[in-house]
């Protein structure tokens, strides 16, 4: 492998793939490279779960890239990369349920099964699956479906019951004393006495967490035990007896179980969380005792929620993939998960816009790069067959979201027209158009769920009202101003009224957007159009209620027809409205709209027809404010 190749492809999956190639280089030709990830089906899968599956998949993909695109057929070590591989997602459904997750329905009935393996607990979601574990596995499969990753599921309960682990279990039983000496010094003092590698399944009550091993019989593959421990909310039934450890009648404690899986499946690569560093070290020691070699991998940092806590499925804390897909393209999630895993990152819904904009920047760079450089982009691991390959727009997701918030509408067509003023998206580029529309839909969803409920109406002081009136006057006189000119005008206005000119921006964010912060205002006002911002300021500050508060149902429908006409026919909306509204009703609504004339400044150069359209837009804002 040439040094130049290492320099060219230096993302962390390539580095890991090279380490792995050195490990498997001397394997027999028929031996596969085994990647593993685990999932405990005691709670709902979340985005942390997806990271545990996708990250080894990224290394597996890097393995293929180095084989197919980088290494010459005759290069030393090339055969190691061309070796077949598998990604196993191991489901520990023999694990006993310690507590009922907060996100699970029917929690009280499910609590009766605490301590039993989740593969034997009834489905709490209405019985649509054979067991608690089966339901979670179904959710996991649905969860992973959008990211197009190749993997195979392997269930602990099936492996134990089918005898796939029996040989290794006999070996663990034979060397139980040495394993106890490895593990017990790492336990709390109160947990050391009586600790055993084995957890027999009680034949009387079905619990696995409450059994205590009292004697070992390696010569007949059995242990003696009593069901007497209290574990979380589970209590032993008092049964005592001798039982085989083979055929699914017992499982091993999870640190031993980890080593067991590595040994039987001959795992070569597995990543694990930072909180499992000591456990991985212990499992590696046990594996060596069994005659195996620990897999490669490294500890990744935790995902944190908005409060800085570790994302946890056991208490239902985390983000679901369906939630993510509602607010951002799935590729953004995959992009987030390939970022440096050794760095802790916050992972909560309100952080999605930031990661979306980072992904759009990466996509622009990727589409502009040559083929060779694209191999070293994170998007080599992110893009799927149906993914957009380009985004020929300077739009940011943050800007789209702020426009949606300011317009206060879910009309994708209307939002698109405003955005196309900002950037020429009419070009025949299907990828850009598709991603553009997806971003609008995601922004609308995010606005509805998170931004709209937090918006507030700000009542400015008399001095602030004069500042707003001055801005309205400037925008009226400079309707064709550029974004930079608008930004400069706002700054100059701030200079006249504040010791620090930037303070005026807070006022404008509160009045225009109903929030404390926002985008660069010059760009935003230019995009939303000065006319729209004028309407927004006037309707929310100078016309908080107005003459549209007591409309009848018929009048309200007529007004809405007029407002729809403003959107559909910019040249002659009055005629469009008249064609569908009865004349008597229209005259009443028109009279109401014209009353707005007395509330707002009027440009002396605006023709009567334009003024009516202008008033119609103000009526839209007044009507929304009055509801």
Instruction: Return the pLDDT at 371.
Output: 82
- pLDDT single digits (tens) 31-60: 999 999 999 998 888 777 888 999 999 999
Confidence of residue 323 (pLDDT cuts 50, 70, 90): confident
When comparing pLDDT for 310 and 494, which is higher? Answer: 494
Instruction: Return the pLDDT at 351.
Output: 83
Confidence of residue 425 (pLDDT cuts 50, 70, 90): low
The count of C-alpha atoms lying within 13 angstroms of the C-alpha of 281, restricted to the half-sphere facing its C-beta, is 9
Identify the CA nearest to 91 among candidates 166, 144, 20. Answer: 144
Q: Is 410 exposed, middle or buried (0-12, 13-18, 19+ CB in 10 A)?
A: middle
Q: Containing H/E element for 153?
A: strand 152-155
Cα–Cα distance measured from residue 338 to residue 362, given in angstroms and rounded to the nearest whole number: 12
pLDDT above 80 (res 109): yes
pLDDT above 50 (res 158): yes
Q: Is 157 exposed, middle or buried (0-12, 13-18, 19+ CB in 10 A)?
A: buried
pLDDT above 90 (res 171): yes
What is the percent of the chain with per-residue pLDDT over 70, rounded to a whole number?
79
Cα–Cα distance measured from residue 363 to residue 490, given in angstroms and rounded to the nearest whole number: 33
Instruction: Return the pLDDT at 104.
Output: 85
Cα–Cα distance measured from residue 13 to residue 340, given in angstroms and rounded to the nearest whole number: 10
- pLDDT single digits (tens) 187-239: 999 889 899 999 999 999 999 999 999 999 999 999 999 999 987 778 899 99
Instruction: Return the pLDDT at 47.
Output: 76
Cα–Cα distance measured from residue 502 to residue 293, given in angstroms and rounded to the nearest whole number: 62
- pLDDT single digits (tens) 231-279: 777 889 999 999 999 999 999 998 999 999 999 999 999 999 898 999 9
Non-local CB neighbours of 549 within 8 Å, separated by 6+ positions: 626
Cα–Cα distance measured from residue 277 to residue 300, given in angstroms and rounded to the nearest whole number: 9
CB 54 within 8 A of CB 12: no
Q: Containing H/E element for 421?
A: helix 412-422
What is the percent of the chain with per-residue pLDDT over 90, rounded to a whole number?
47
Buried b (16+ CB within 10 A) or exposed e, 481-515: bebeebbebbeebbeeeeeeeeebbebbbbbbbbe
Structure tokens at 295: 């897999």
Global pTM reads 0.77
Instruction: Return the pLDDT at 599.
Output: 46
Q: What integer is the mean pLDDT of 483-512?
A: 92
Top mean pLDDT of 86-95, 402-411, 420-429 is at: 86-95
Residue 561 backbone dihedrals phi, psi, to 5 degrees = -65, -45
Instruction: Return the pLDDT at 567.
Output: 53
When comparing pLDDT for 476 and 85, which is higher? Answer: 85
Instruction: Return the pLDDT at 2.
Output: 37
* Range from 158-162, 555-559, 617-621 carrying the lowest mean pLDDT: 617-621
Q: What integer is the mean pLDDT of 494-499?
A: 92
pLDDT above 60 (res 70): no
Average pLDDT along the chain: 83
Distance between first and last Cα of the chain: 69
Instruction: Return the pLDDT at 1.
Output: 39
Cα–Cα distance measured from residue 524 to residue 406, given in angstroms and rounded to the nearest whole number: 10
Buried b (16+ CB within 10 A) or exposed e, 229-257: eebeebbbbebeeebbbbebbbbbebbbb
Instruction: Return the pLDDT at 116.
Output: 94
Confidence of residue 345 (pLDDT cuts 50, 70, 90): confident
Query: Going from the N-terminus, what domains does the chain have, and what CATH number goes with each?
Result: 3-164+256-303 (3.40.50.620), 188-251 (no CATH), 321-439 (no CATH), 455-542 (1.10.10.350), 553-626 (no CATH)
Instruction: Return the pLDDT at 310.
Output: 67
Instruction: Return the pLDDT at 514.
Output: 83
- pLDDT single digits (tens) 431-460: 988 999 999 999 999 888 887 788 778 888
When comparing pLDDT for 558 and 143, which is higher? Answer: 143
- pLDDT single digits (tens) 569-620: 455 555 555 566 666 666 666 666 555 555 444 444 555 555 555 555 555 4
Confidence of residue 626 (pLDDT cuts 50, 70, 90): very low
Instruction: Return the pLDDT at 265.
Output: 97
Instruction: Return the pLDDT at 83.
Output: 84
Residue 307 backbone dihedrals phi, psi, to 5 degrees = -95, 5
Cα–Cα distance measured from residue 533 to residue 526, given in angstroms and rounded to the nearest whole number: 9
């Amino acid at each position: 492998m040439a040094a130049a190749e290492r320099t060219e492809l230096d993302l962390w999956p390539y580095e890991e793939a090279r380490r792995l190639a050195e490990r498997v280089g001397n394997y027999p030709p028929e031996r596969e490279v085994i990647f593993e990830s685990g999932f405990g089906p005691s709670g709902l899968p979340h985005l942390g779960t997806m990271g545990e599956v996708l990250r080894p998949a990224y290394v597996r993909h890097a393995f293929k890239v180095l084989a197919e695109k980088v290494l010459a057929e005759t290069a030393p070590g090339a055969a190691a990369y061309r070796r077949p591989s598998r990604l196993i997602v191991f489901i520990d459904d023999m694990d006993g349920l310690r507590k009922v997750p907060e996100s699970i329905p029917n929690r009280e009935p499910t609590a009766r099964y605490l301590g039993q393996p989740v593969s034997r607990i009834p489905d709490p979601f209405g019985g649509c699956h054979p067991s608690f574990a089966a339901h979670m596995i179904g959710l996991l499969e649905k969860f992973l479906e959008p990211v197009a990753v190749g993997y195979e599921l392997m269930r602990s309960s099936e492996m134990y019951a089918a005898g796939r682990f029996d040989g290794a279990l006999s070996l663990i039983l034979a060397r139980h004393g040495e394993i106890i000496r490895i593990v017990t010094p790492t336990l709390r003092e109160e947990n050391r006495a009586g600790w055993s590698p084995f957890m027999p399944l009680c034949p009387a009550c079905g619990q696995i967490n409450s059994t205590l091993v009292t004697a070992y019989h390696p010569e007949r593959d059995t242990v003696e035990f009593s069901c007497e421990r209290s574990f979380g909310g589970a209590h032993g039934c008092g049964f005592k007896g001798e039982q085989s450890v083979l055929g699914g009648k017992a499982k091993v404690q999870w640190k031993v179980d980890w080593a067991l899986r590595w040994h039987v499946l001959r795992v070569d690569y597995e990543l694990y969380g930072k909180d499992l560093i000591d456990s991985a070290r212990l499992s590696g020691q046990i594996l060596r005792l069994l005659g195996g070699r620990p897999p490669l991998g490294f500890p990744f940092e935790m995902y944190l929620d908005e409060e800085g806590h570790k994302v946890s499925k056991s208490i239902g804390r985390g983000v679901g993939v369906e939630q993510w897909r509602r607010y951002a393209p799935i590729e953004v999630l995959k992009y987030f998960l390939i970022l440096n895993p050794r760095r802790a990152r916050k992972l909560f819904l309100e952080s999605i816009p930031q990661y979306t904009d980072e992904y759009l920047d990466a996509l622009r760079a990727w589409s502009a790069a040559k083929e060779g450089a694209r191999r070293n982009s994170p998007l080599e691991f992110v893009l799927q067959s149906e993914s957009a390959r380009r985004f020929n727009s300077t739009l940011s997701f943050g800007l789209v979201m702020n426009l949606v918030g300011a317009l206060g509408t879910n009309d994708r067509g209307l939002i698109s027209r405003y955005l196309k003023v900002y950037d020429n998206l009419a070009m025949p580029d299907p990828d850009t158009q598709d991603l553009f529309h997806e971003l609008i839909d995601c922004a609308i969803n995010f606005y509805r769920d998170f931004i709209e409920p937090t918006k507030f109406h700000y009542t400015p002081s008399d001095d602030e009202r004069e500042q707003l009136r001055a801005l309205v006057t400037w925008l009226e006189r400079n309707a064709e101003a550029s974004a930079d000119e608008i930004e400069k005008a706002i700054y100059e206005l701030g200079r006249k009224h504040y010791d620090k000119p930037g303070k005026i921006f807070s006022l404008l964010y509160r009045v225009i957007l109903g929030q404390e912060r926002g985008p660069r205002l010059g760009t935003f006002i230019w995009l939303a159009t000065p006319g729209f911002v004028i309407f927004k300021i006037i309707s929310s500050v100078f016309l908080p209620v107005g003459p549209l508060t007591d409309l009848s149902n018929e009048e309200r429908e007529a007004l809405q027809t007029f407002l729809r006409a403003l959107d559909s026919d910019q040249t002659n909306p009055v005629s469009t409205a008249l064609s569908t509204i009865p004349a008597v009703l229209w005259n009443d609504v028109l009279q109401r709209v014209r009353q707005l004339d007395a509330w707002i400044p009027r440009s002396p150069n605006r023709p009567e027809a334009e003024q009516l359209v202008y008033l119609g837009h103000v009526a839209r804002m007044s009507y929304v404010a009055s509801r």
